[in-house]
Chains A and B, each alone.
Chain A
Amino acid sequence: MTDKPTTREIDELTGTETTGHEWDGIKELNTPMPRWWLWTFYATIAFSVGYTILFPAWPMISSATGGVLGYSSRAELHQDLSNLQTANQAVVNRITELPLHEILADGELTRFASAAGASAFKVNCSQCHGTGAAGASGYPNLNDDSWIWGGTVDDIYLTIAHGVRSATDPDTRFNLMPNFGADGMLDRAQIKDMVAYVAGLSGIEAESASPEAAQLFLDNCSGCHGADAKGVAELGGPDLTDAIWLYEGSVASIEAQLNRARHGMMPAWSEKLDDVTIKQLAIYVHGLGGGQ
C-alpha cells in the first residue's frame, strides 16, 4: 500500500485516477462504471422499489406484505383452473346428461371423456390395476377381453360405481367362492380331480381327470361358472376355459383357490368420485382394447 492513500493520483498512461492501492508496483485504476451499466443499475433499483410496493415482497413474522395490487400466484392458478372448467363445461354437461352408449357414438365426446378418464385412472385406479391397466395377480388386467363382471360400458360403469365386495355399498358386486377344501365340502381326492378337470378346460398341463369330474363340476361349480364353464358375468363367475386367470393359471393356484378361495375387493367409487368422473373412467377402460 502507498503511504498516502488519500492523495489523488492520475495514471499517466490512461489518464484515469487510481484507487491509491498498489501491489508490487501495480496500481489499481479507478475506472468509472460504463454509463449504460450505471443507468441500468439505477433502473433496477427503481424497479425493485416499485415491485416491493406493488407485489408481495417483504417477509413478516407470519406472512408477507401483500402488495397494493393484491396479486397472488395461488389466486391466479385458481382463476386459470376455473377458466378451464368454464371452457370445458359444455362438454362436461353433455357427458353428464347423455347415456354411456350415446357418448360412445360421438367421437369428440369419447376422446374428451377418454382423456379425462385416463387422468382419473392414474390418480385413483393405478395403485391396484397399474398405470397401463395391465393389472397383477389378483388385480384384473383391464386391457384384455375377459371380464369377470361384464365388459360392456354399462357393466364397467356399475363395477366402478359400486365396487366389488364393498362393505359400504349395498348395491356392490358381490359373490363368494366357497372354501371347498378348507370347509370339507369336497375331499382331497375330489379336489385333486377337480383341479385336473379345470386345468384341462383351458389346456393347462395336468394329470387327466377322472370320468366323474364332469358331474362333480356340474354339481358344485356350474352355478356360478356356468355349465360350459364359460363364466356367468351377472354373478361374477369367471370363465374357466379361456387363457386368462385372475390369479395364476397353474395347477397349484387352482388347487389353492379350491381349498381356500381368495377374494379381491374394489371400493365403490361413487362414494368418492362424481358421476361424470365415473362415466369418464368407464369410457376410458372400455376403450383399452377389450371393451364389448
Chain B
Amino acid sequence: MTTSATDTAPTRIDVEAVNSAKTRQSLYAARRKIFPKRASGSFRRLKWIVMAITLTIYYVTPWLRWDRGEYAPDQAVLLDLANRRFYFFFLEIWPQEFYYVAGLLVMAGVGLFLVTSTVGRAWCGYTCPQTVWVDLFLVVERAIEGDRNARIKLEAAPWSPGKLVKRVSKHAIWLVIGVLTGGAWVFYFADAPSLLQDLVTFQAPVVAYATIGILTATTYTFGGLMREQVCTYMCPWPRIQAAMLDEHSLTVTYNDWRGEPRGKHAKKAAAAGESLGDCVDCNACVAVCPMGIDIRDGQQLECITCALCIDACDDIMTRLGRDRGLISYTTLSDYDANMKVATGPAGIDPANVRRPGGGWVEQLRHTNWRSVIRLRTLIYFAVWALIGVAMLVALSMRSELGLNVLHDRNPLYVLLSDGSIQNGYDVKILNMTNEPRQVTFTINGLPGATLTSPNLADQPTDAIALNVEPDLVLPLRIYVRASADEAARTHQFEMIVRAADDETVTTQQVRFEAPGSVK
C-alpha cells in the first residue's frame, strides 16, 4: 500500500466548489466569486503555448502583407465589405463564391465533431476566445493582486488607497486589452496601416469606433467580470458538445476507483482496519479550477476540460510519491471498467485495485492514445478531409473569367422589320483577375445569327471585342438576331467569352425565344 508519505501531505486548502452540484444555488442568487489558484505543469504549459499562438494569430494577421499587383489591396487577410471582396492570402473570393466560406464553416463544424469526439471539450479548454482572454485577464489580475490567497484577502479588505490603486490599475489594463482586442478586429475590414493612422487622428469612420467600443465592452465584461458565467449560462457549446461525446472520448476524469475513500489520515485509518484511496482531499484541484467546480463530483456541464486540475493533482501525487493520474484524461468506458474492478459489496475498496507490494492489478485499463482511433473519428476525419479536398479541387479549377446572362423577360422576343427575331440579354462579364483583360464575346449554335450591342457594336457582327477592368464586372446589353426560320428551329445556343491573353474560355447555355417557343 502506498501510504508511506502521508505525513508530508499538503495542508488542506480551505475551498468549496462554488458550482458544485451538491450545493447548487438558485439561479437568482448573486454570483460567488472564484479565485483560481495558479497551476503549473504540462497542461498549464500547453495552455500558455496555445494562448500565445492564438493571440498572435488574432493580433498579427491583419498586418501581414501579400502582393497582388497594383489593382488589388496588399493585405493578406481582408474582408473588403465596401467592394464585396474577401482576400485570403492567395485567394480572392467574390460574393457569389461565398460557398467557399460556407465550405470552410462546414469543415470547422465537422472538425469540431472530430475534435470533440476524440479529445472532448478541447475547444472549450484551450482555444475558445473566452478561455484564452479569461486566462489573459487572470495573468493581469495575478500580476497586480497576487495569487489566490492574496486576492481573497484583498477582496475582503476594506477600501484603502492601496486596494484602490490595485483595483484601478487592474481594470485599466483590462480595458486597454479590451480596446486592443476591438482595435485588432476592425483591421480585418480595412487596410490596417491606413486605418490605424485614421484611428489615432480621429479620421476613421464612426462604425470603426463603434465596433471597437462594443468589442471593448464585451471583452472587458466577458473576460474580466463575467468569466465562467459566460460558459455556464450563456454559451450553447457545453450543451452541444456534450451531445458529441461518447464513452470513448477523452475527458478530464477523477478516478474514484483509486482515489476513494478519500482522506488524509491513512495511518489512522489503517490502524482502524480501513484502507484509504489516493485522494488526500487536499482540494488543490478545486482551488485551481477557473470554473469553480469540484472535478471529484464527476463529469459536469461546467467543466471546460482545461486540465489544470490534472496539473494540480499530479503535483500533489508526485510530492506524495504516488502514481500521477489520479485526475487524468480518461475515457468513460475505461473509467467504468475500472470502477467495476474497484467496487466491492461495501463500495470502492482500494484493495481491489492495488497489488500487494505496489502497483496496480492487471484488470485495470489505462487509457492511451489508441482511444483516438476508432470508426467514428475516422469517419469524421474522412468527411472533413473529403470536404477539404473537394474545396481545393474546386478552387484550383475555378475560372477567373465569369459570364452571367439574364434573358429579357419583357419582351421575350422582338419581331424586326425584315421578319427576323431579336432577343435581348443582360450580360455580365466578370474579370476575377487583378489585371485588365481583353476578351472576345461570341455566340455559337445559332447559324446565321448576329450580335449588336448599343454603342459597342451598332452594326450586326459575330464577335465583340471588349476590355474588362481588373477585378470588376462589365455589364453589357446584347441583342441577338436570327432569321425567323432559324429561330423556329433552335431555342438554345451558347454565349462564349474568351480571354485574349491566356485563352481562358467560359461559356453559358442561353435560350433563344421566338413566336411559338413559349408554350
Contact = CB atoms under 8 A, between A and B. Distances in A.
A110 B476 CA distance: 12
Contacts of A266: none
Given A31-B28, A35-B28, A141-B411, 17 more contacts: A32-B28, A34-B27, A104-B455, A111-B475, A132-B408, A134-B411, A144-B414, A145-B417, A146-B417, A239-B417, A242-B418, A242-B419, A289-B414, A289-B422, A289-B424, A289-B452, A291-B454
Interface in B407-443: 408-411, 414-419, 422, 424
Interface in B464-502: 475, 477, 479
Given A110-B454, A144-B422, A289-B424, A134 B416 contact: no
A29 B58 CA distance: 49
Given A242-B418, A243-B416, A287-B477, A143 B455 contact: no
A289 B455 CA distance: 11
A281 B90 CA distance: 46
A134 B410 contact: yes
Nearest to A289: B479
B28 A34 contact: yes
Interface string B342-363: 0000000000000000000000
Nearest to B420: A243
Interface of B: 27-28, 408-411, 414-419, 422, 424, 452, 454-455, 475, 477, 479
A143 B414 contact: yes
Nearest to B424: A289
A31 B411 CA distance: 67
A141 B410 CA distance: 12
A290 B416 contact: yes
A170 interface: no
A143 B481 CA distance: 12
A146 B416 CA distance: 7
A209 interface: no
B467 to A, nearest CB: 11
Interface in A114-162: 130-134, 141, 143-146
A31 B26 CA distance: 11
Contacts, number: 63
Contacts of A243: 415-419
Select the residue from B27, B415, B452 with max chain A CB neighbours within 10 A: B415
Contacts of A287: 454, 477
B415 A132 contact: no
A144 B410 contact: no
A132 B407 CA distance: 13
B455 A107 contact: yes
Contacts of A130: 410-411
Given A32-B28, A35-B28, A289-B422, A134 B417 contact: no
Contacts of A286: 454
A244 B422 contact: no
Contacts of A110: 454-455
Interface of A: 31-32, 34-35, 104-105, 107, 110-111, 130-134, 141, 143-146, 239, 242-244, 286-291
A291 B410 CA distance: 18
Given A110-B454, A287-B454, A244 B415 contact: yes
Contacts of B479: 289
Contacts of A146: 416-417
Nearest to A146: B417
15 contacts: A104-B455, A110-B454, A130-B411, A141-B415, A143-B422, A144-B415, A144-B422, A145-B416, A146-B417, A242-B418, A242-B419, A243-B419, A288-B424, A289-B479, A290-B414
Contacts of B411: 130, 132-134, 141, 143
Residue of A104, A107, A289 with highest tally of chain B CB at under 10 A: A289
A131 B416 CA distance: 19
B417 A144 contact: yes
Contact of A131 (B28, B410, B414, B477): B410
Contacts of A107: 455
A133 B422 CA distance: 14
Nearest to A291: B454
Contacts of A289: 414, 422, 424, 452, 477, 479
Nearest to A286: B454
A252 B225 CA distance: 89
A287 B475 CA distance: 14
Nearest to B484: A243
A14 to B, nearest CB: 8
Given A32-B28, A143-B422, A143-B424, A242 B455 contact: no
B28 A242 contact: no
A286 B455 CA distance: 11
Contacts of B454: 110, 286-287, 291
A44 B303 CA distance: 36
A34 B28 CA distance: 6
Nearest to A241: B417
Nearest to A16: B26
A35 B479 CA distance: 68
Given A144-B415, A144-B416, A132 B410 contact: yes
Contacts of B415: 141, 144, 243-244
A290 B418 CA distance: 12
Nearest to B452: A289
Given A32-B28, A134-B410, A244 B417 contact: yes
A13 B227 CA distance: 31
A105 B456 CA distance: 10
A143 B394 CA distance: 41
B221 to A, nearest CB: 13
A239 B422 CA distance: 19
A219 B86 CA distance: 72
A35 B418 CA distance: 81
Contacts of B417: 144-146, 239, 242-244
B503 to A, nearest CB: 27
A141 B412 CA distance: 13
Contacts of B422: 143-144, 289
Which of A130, A131, A133, A288 has most chain B Cβ within 10 Å?
A288
A141 B28 contact: no
A278 to B, nearest CB: 19
Contacts of B452: 289
Contacts of A141: 411, 414-415
A56 B409 CA distance: 45
Contacts of A131: 410
Contacts of B419: 242-243
B74 to A, nearest CB: 28
B25 to A, nearest CB: 12
Nearest to A287: B454
A130 B411 CA distance: 9
